[in-house]
Structure formats: structure tokens, C-alpha cells
């Protein structure tokens, strides 16, 4: 993460709503999904990865004028806190309160669906489903396994081909991204918008774009 991206994270941590209102509706939804992942916590490497994704999203989605304003405002500032620590702390405190003097506004909207629920709502199967339908036993360590609130282990369906076999490309990318260690983060990589690919990665499976998917996965975490 470069200095400018650190400034973006500081601006977001200081006043989340001020940053959100500069984004389009779709970009706000994507930001909220990333912040939902951050709010779920996890190991430091996971928090760093999600924070880098937040910074990259803001860099691409904010209008140029706003990016310049943040750069000017925060030029030369420094903090002893790492960006992922600063942002995670602010997110755990909850949404920023309305600013004084903002006056009456529209009625509050219903809370956004959490990243947890969004990922669990995607098509999925269980290990039992695969065995009963195809006689396939899921033993690979890098299969994404998501546990629901009812303690049911779900396997996102995109990972498997029409015969219930784990796709080799999915196995490779899941291993590269660390699905065994961070299944939620890797599931979000597959099932969320990807700025590098300009698409949701899972939708590109079987389209002849294996090299692009591998390159996009390999780019994750290359910069700190």
C-alpha cells in the first residue's frame, strides 16, 4: 500500500459517511461489503488484505477531484497505527453518527446485508449433496467451506463442475489465496466485483479466461 492509499484509509476511518457520499450507489455497496468483511475480524494478514482492497477500491471509485482533495488535506500527516489497525478499529465502533448541523434528511434506509449473509446466499451445496448426486467425496484442503448461522457447512457451488468435481483452476487459486486459512475472504474474492478483471471472478470460470483469473489472483497481496 502506498502513501496515497494510506491517506484514503485515514480519510475513511475519520469520516466514513463523507467518503461514502462521494461514491456511486454501486461503489458504496461494494465498499460496504468490504467493510463488512473487515468487521468480521480475523488474522492480521486477512485484515491487511481487506484493507488493501478497500484502498484500491477507493482509488478507482472516488472522483479525481475528491482524491486530490484528500491528498492535499492529508499530505505530510503520519500515524503510528498501521492502516488496517486504524480502519478495523473505526469499523468496529460502528457507523459514524450524523454530523451536527446536517439538518433533517430522508428516513434512514434499512441496514445493508452483511457480507456474511451475502456470501451464504450464493448458490451452494453440501458435502452430502455431492456424494449423493455424484458419488464424489470432498477431501481437498483448499475447498471453500462456509459455516452458516445454523452450523451447516456450505460449499459455494461455483467450485464444482457439472459432474460434481472440484474445478482444477479453482483448486489452484483457492490454494494461492489461502482458502483453508481464510475461506470467507477467498469466497468474497470469487463472488464479489473485481476491479482488475472488471467482473465477478466466479462468472468467468469456463469462459477461456483462466490465465486472466490466475493473474488477478496472483496480484492479490503483491503490495503492502
User: Is the pLDDT score of 21 beyond 60?
Assistant: yes
Mean pLDDT computed over 117-121: 84
pTM of the model: 0.52
Longest dimension (CA), the chain: 64
Share of the chain above pLDDT 70, in %: 81
Quick one: which H or E segment has residue 214?
Answer: helix 210-219
Question: Using an 8 Å Cβ cutoff, are 33 and 188 in contact?
Answer: yes
The model's pLDDT over 181-196, given as tens digits with 9 standing for 90+, comes to 889 889 999 998 888 8
User: Is the pLDDT score of 100 beyond 50?
Assistant: no
First-to-last CA distance in the chain?
Answer: 5
Q: Would you state the pLDDT for residue 78?
A: 62
Which of 24-33, 106-115, 147-156 has the lowest average pLDDT? Answer: 106-115
Question: Using an 8 Å Cβ cutoff, are 62 and 24 in contact?
Answer: no
Quick one: which H or E segment has residue 34?
Answer: helix 25-39
The model's pLDDT over 22-44, given as tens digits with 9 standing for 90+, comes to 888 888 888 877 777 777 666 77
Residue spans of the domains in the chain: they are 3-92, 115-219
Question: Using an 8 Å Cβ cutoff, are 83 and 55 in contact?
Answer: yes
- Rounded to the nearest integer, the mean pLDDT of the chain is 79
DSSP 50-91: HHHHHHHHHHHHS-HHHHHHHHHHHTT---SS-HHHHHHHHH
User: Is the pLDDT score of 157 beyond 70?
Assistant: yes
Q: Strand 146-147 and strand 153-156: pairing?
A: antiparallel
Per-residue pLDDT band for 66 (boundaries 50, 70, 90) equals confident
Look at the chain and count its residues: 224
User: Is the pLDDT score of 15 beyond 60?
Assistant: yes
User: Is the pLDDT score of 19 beyond 70?
Assistant: yes
Q: Please state the φ and ψ torsions of residue 18, each to the nearest 5 degrees.
A: -65, -35
Per-residue pLDDT band for 109 (boundaries 50, 70, 90) equals very low
The model's pLDDT over 158-216, given as tens digits with 9 standing for 90+, comes to 999 888 899 999 999 999 999 998 898 899 999 988 888 888 999 999 889 999 999 99
Quick one: which H or E segment has residue 171?
Answer: helix 168-177
Share of the chain above pLDDT 90, in %: 21
Residue 154, helix vs strand vs coil: strand
Amino acid at each position: 500500500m502506498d502513501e496515497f492509499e494510506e491517506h484514503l484509509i485515514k480519510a475513511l476511518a475519520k469520516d466514513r459517511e463523507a467518503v461514502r457520499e462521494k461514491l456511486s450507489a454501486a461503489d458504496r455497496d461494494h465498499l460496504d461489503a468490504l467493510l463488512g468483511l473487515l468487521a468480521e475480524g480475523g488474522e492480521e494478514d486477512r485484515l491487511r488484505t481487506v484493507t488493501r482492497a478497500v484502498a484500491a477500491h477507493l482509488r478507482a471509485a472516488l472522483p479525481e477531484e475528491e482524491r486530490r482533495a484528500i491528498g492535499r488535506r492529508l499530505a505530510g500527516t503520519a500515524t503510528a497505527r498501521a492502516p488496517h489497525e486504524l480502519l478495523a478499529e473505526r469499523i468496529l465502533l460502528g457507523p459514524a453518527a450524523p454530523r451536527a448541523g446536517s439538518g433533517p434528511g430522508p428516513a434512514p434506509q434499512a441496514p445493508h446485508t452483511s457480507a456474511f449473509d451475502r456470501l451464504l446466499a450464493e448458490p451452494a451445496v453440501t458435502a452430502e449433496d455431492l456424494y449423493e448426486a455424484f458419488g464424489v467425496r470432498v477431501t481437498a484442503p483448499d475447498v471453500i467451506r462456509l459455516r452458516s448461522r445454523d452450523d451447516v457447512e456450505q460449499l459455494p457451488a461455483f467450485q464444482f463442475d457439472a459432474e460434481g468435481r472440484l474445478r482444477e483452476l479453482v483448486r489452484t487459486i483457492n490454494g494461492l489465496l489461502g482458502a483453508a486459512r481464510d475461506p470467507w475472504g477467498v469466497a468474497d474474492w470469487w463472488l464479489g466485483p473485481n476491479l482488475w478483471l472488471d467482473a465477478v471472478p466466479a462468472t468467468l470460470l469456463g469462459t477461456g479466461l483462466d490465465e486472466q483469473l490466475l493473474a488477478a489472483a496472483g496480484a492479490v497481496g503483491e503490495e503492502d
